Structure 1
Amino acid sequence: MHLMHGFRTLILDLDPNQHDSAKTTIMRYKRSPVPITQYLKIKKGDGLVTDKFTESMYVLANEPSVALYRLQEHVRRSLPELVQHKTDMQGWEEQSQGAIYTVEYACSAVKSMTNSTLYFKSIEGLLRETIGIKDQMNSSQGRR
């Protein structure tokens, strides 16, 4: 039994002593729709071979390197989408920070306006005084 690089192809030699008539079965065990027993042509008395083969297949299928390969496939498939989400989130964060700055600036402007009532009253008093002086000037010009 030989597992080739990449964990994709499994090669089985049923009788390695008979090189001329050796039956070599190549199967793709990953996502194979055909049961493993259909690939093997074994006589009835060879139940031990199929049991050992089944046990070996379970060991190979659950081997840590196969798990890491599947994990790598999952990461390779899902990583571009995650990167896109990250860049989208960073863009939204920048927009949010800009909006937060604008709102904070507007709030500080409103707060400073509530403290400016003293200044507005002073301006109102000066405007009234100016209007009064202008009226006096107009009336003094009208007498001449």
Structure 2
Amino acid sequence: MHIVANEPSLAFYRLQEHVRKALNPMVDRRADVEKLHVELQGRCYDMEYAAGAIKTIKNADETFDNIRENLKNAIFLKQQLKYEESRKKKTNPSSVYKRLSAHITLDLPELPELSDVVRETANRVESIMNKATHSNV
């Protein structure tokens, strides 16, 4: 019995039987472990990239402060421009004739020829003034 149990061919048979039973699950496990290793390595790279992005965001405070200041300045300048435009509209009456007629308090007799000449002259003066203001802008 001792010789039969220790016979080399029987030992090789037992080894072959064990390898046949254990090899397929072991190969499957190894493939699973390699797949998990690749996934884990990818996630580690993602974590390193995210940590680097967070560090970069911490250093971006100065940039965001500059952006905030520039936006404040732009809003302030826009408000100033709007105020100046509204102020010009208020101080700039629509016609020179209206401005002149506000100062003239003479009672002139009704002369049809004279009123046409005055109206035409007022229109010419007004057009000249409009051209002058538009060329200065």
Residues 70-108 of structure 1, C-alpha deviations (whole Å, 9 max, x = no match): 112101111000011011111111211121111111111
How far did 1:119 drift?
0.9
Within 5 Å, which residues of 2 pair with 1:86-105?
Answer: 86-105=30-49
Distance 1:125 1:78 in 2: 70
How far did 1:129 drift?
1.0
For these two proteins, the number of residue pairs brought into alignment is 88
Partner of 1:118: 62
What TM-score do you get using the length of structure 2 for normalisation?
Answer: 0.60
Distance 2:56 2:32 in 1: 36
Amino acid at match of 2:8: P
Distance 1:65 1:105 in 2: 58
How far did 1:137 drift?
1.1
Structure 1 unpaired stretches of 5+: 1-56
What TM-score do you get using the length of structure 1 for normalisation?
Answer: 0.57
Q: Which has the higher strand share?
A: 1
Q: Which has the higher helix share?
A: 2
Distance 1:91 1:114 in 2: 35
Within 5 Å, which residues of 2 pair with 1:1-144?
Answer: 57-144=1-88
Which consecutive segments of 4 or more residues in structure 1 shift more than 6 A? none
User: What RMSD in Å do the two structures reach over aligned CA positions?
Assistant: 1.3
Distance 2:7 2:83 in 1: 107
Distance 1:74 1:134 in 2: 85
The structure whose Rg is larger is 2
Larger RCO, structure (CA 8 Å, separation 6 or more): 2
